[in-house]
Amino acid sequence: MIKVTVQTLGCKVNQSESASIEEVLREQDIEIVKLSENPDICIVNTCSVTAKSDYQSRQLIRKAARNGAKVIATGCYAQLRPDELSKIEGLDLIIGNSEKSNIPQYIKKLTMDKWALELTSNHSHSKLSSPSYYSSRSRGVLKIQDGCNASCSYCTVPLARGKSRSVEIGAIFNAAEKLQNNGYREIVLTGIHIGIFGLDIQPQSSLLGLVEMLTRSFPDIRFRLSSIEPLEFNMGFLPLIRNGLVCNHLHIPLQSGTDRILSSMNREYTSATYKNLIESIINEFPDIAIGTDIITGFPGETDRDFQETVSYVEQIPFSYLHIFPYSRRPNTKAFCFEGHIPEHVKKERVQVLLEMNTNMKSVFKNKQLNKILDVIVEGKDETSGYYKGISGNYLKIFIKSNDIVRGQRIKVRVISLTDSGLLAEYLK
């Protein structure tokens, strides 16, 4: 039996697609193994959102090749720069995102000499079905959409993924039913640009409309939204959050707290618009977890711009920050901008934001003491001996109980804080 490992970098869309690849391969009687288990073939699902992602992708490809496996590269890096990847010794095959569903056929061709597949600019839907099982996860990830219609000046994702394409609603419901039947009690709805789900299909739908239908059909499952743009968040989600049907956790990217930089990034909102949205949500749900993305060191970002962003972020009770130093990406508008920031300045600014993130996470965790949380059990933590889980508001929970199992949805009361999470008691 052929042994294959699938190694994944990047976003939840890549994670979902990798799980789908594994499922298709199992149906072909191919054994899925870890990289350490001497696979015959290693599939590397690459990411290219930053230069660091490119580097990590290349390192993983080289590691797999050194281990003696035949190596297939796919994903966004493979889609954007196949010629660059083809220079890596030991890489056998390069395929684009839309060809992921054909990987079983390509595996059969790996007896040939090294071959870099010619890629086109076509971004049709991959024929990969959503996976019904995730071997390493207690929560299901359901891809509902691919591609992006935004034109942020720093981002290569639209080049790698194409325009927005919604998954058919029937296929989404079939995938959700399979995940439910396999015991999942949380489903993360993911995509590249989920806020515009349904606008490209007939009859037109919407993300809110989809989620309302899903929560009616699967009332025992909690649904979590992945990243959603500020202008695309619908306040109609709030009743679903209030009733526990949608997780009380939102990730709404900001990128900068300065209007001049937001405009240069080609973000379509102002700092005031963003702040008004977050305040409206928090007024309804003071305990909701709201995370965001910040890019620092964008071309032209002065010290004053950065301080404005710091002051702005301090005014909003985020539960966490995802912080990125600006990465200069080929074929983006920002690549040619003037005023690129030295790397040492970017690092200094990142450090300031990291310290803010630490404080924000601590404040949010402290607010949870004595509160009752909705938790999905992820398994037993070997270090502490406690069971661990993820709460609806996206916190790591350690549970004092031996009367629970992986995948179970339970209520807990937070009793203390630890360095790595919250300690809670199981409420039977």
Q: Which of 84, 111, 117 is nearest to 98 (CA)?
A: 117
186-190/140-143 β-pairing? parallel
Distance (Å, whole) CA 52 – CA 346: 14
- Whether 122 shows a pLDDT value over 70: the answer reads no
Radius of gyration of the chain (CA): 22
CB 224 within 8 A of CB 187: yes
Per-chain mean pLDDT for the chain: 92
What is residue 130's predicted lDDT score, i.e. its pLDDT? 63
Mean pLDDT of 136-163: 92
- What are the residues whose beta carbons fall under 8 Å from the beta carbon of 30, sequence distance 6 or more? 1, 2, 3, 4, 104, 107
Higher pLDDT, 29 or 234: 234
Q: Which of 75, 82, 19 is nearest to 47 (CA)?
A: 75
What is residue 106's predicted lDDT score, i.e. its pLDDT? 86
What are the structural domains of the chain?
3-116 (3.40.50.12160), 129-247 (3.30.750.210), 264-367 (3.30.750.200), 372-427 (2.40.50.140)
What is residue 121's predicted lDDT score, i.e. its pLDDT? 42
Strands (E) located in 232-314: 249-251, 289-296
- Whether 100 shows a pLDDT value over 80: the answer reads yes
Distance (Å, whole) CA 4 – CA 24: 12
Most confident of 11-25, 102-116, 118-132, 212-226: 212-226
What is residue 135's predicted lDDT score, i.e. its pLDDT? 55
Which one-letter amino acid corresponds to residue 47? Answer: C
- Whether 129 shows a pLDDT value over 70: the answer reads no
DSSP string covering 45-86: EE--SSHHHHHHHHHHHHHHHHTT-EEEEEEHHHHH-HHHHT
Q: Which of 123, 132, 242, 140 is nearest to 185 (CA)?
A: 140
Distance (Å, whole) CA 356 – CA 112: 53
Distance (Å, whole) CA 171 – CA 213: 13
Count Cβ atoms below 10 Å from residue 13 Cβ, excluding itself: 24
Token digits for 91?
């890489």
Q: Which of 222, 211, 146, 122 is nearest to 179 (CA)?
A: 222
**Residues of the chain with pLDDT > 90: what percent?**
83
Mean pLDDT of 117-146: 66
For residue 38, the number of C-alpha atoms closer than 13 Å in the C-beta half-sphere is: 1
DSSP string covering 224-236: EE----GGG--TT
The dihedrals phi and psi of 32, each to the nearest 5 degrees, come to: -95, 125
Distance (Å, whole) CA 207 – CA 250: 14
- Whether 136 shows a pLDDT value over 80: the answer reads no
CB 229 within 8 A of CB 195: yes
Distance (Å, whole) CA 141 – CA 175: 10
**Dihedral (CA of 403, 381, 185, 284) sign:** positive
Mean pLDDT of 100-124: 64
Least confident of 74-78, 107-111, 147-151, 286-290: 107-111
What is residue 131's predicted lDDT score, i.e. its pLDDT? 62
- What are the residues whose beta carbons fall under 8 Å from the beta carbon of 111, sequence distance 6 or more? none
Q: Which of 233, 271, 265 is nearest to 252 (CA)?
A: 233
Distance (Å, whole) CA 100 – CA 293: 29
pLDDT in tens, 249-295: 999 999 999 999 999 999 999 999 999 999 999 999 998 999 999 99
Distance (Å, whole) CA 43 – CA 343: 33
Q: Which of 67, 27, 64, 28 is nearest to 46 (CA)?
A: 64
What SS3 class is residue 192? coil
Distance (Å, whole) CA 36 – CA 27: 23
pLDDT band of 119, cuts 50, 70, 90: very low
- Whether 114 shows a pLDDT value over 60: the answer reads no
Surface-to-core class of residue 3, CB atoms within 10 Å of its CB (0-12 exposed, 13-18 middle, 19+ buried): middle
- Whether 120 shows a pLDDT value over 60: the answer reads no
Surface-to-core class of residue 414, CB atoms within 10 Å of its CB (0-12 exposed, 13-18 middle, 19+ buried): buried
pTM of the model: 0.92
Helix (H) or strand (E) holding 422: strand 422-427
What is residue 40's predicted lDDT score, i.e. its pLDDT? 92
- Whether 418 shows a pLDDT value over 90: the answer reads no
pLDDT band of 382, cuts 50, 70, 90: confident
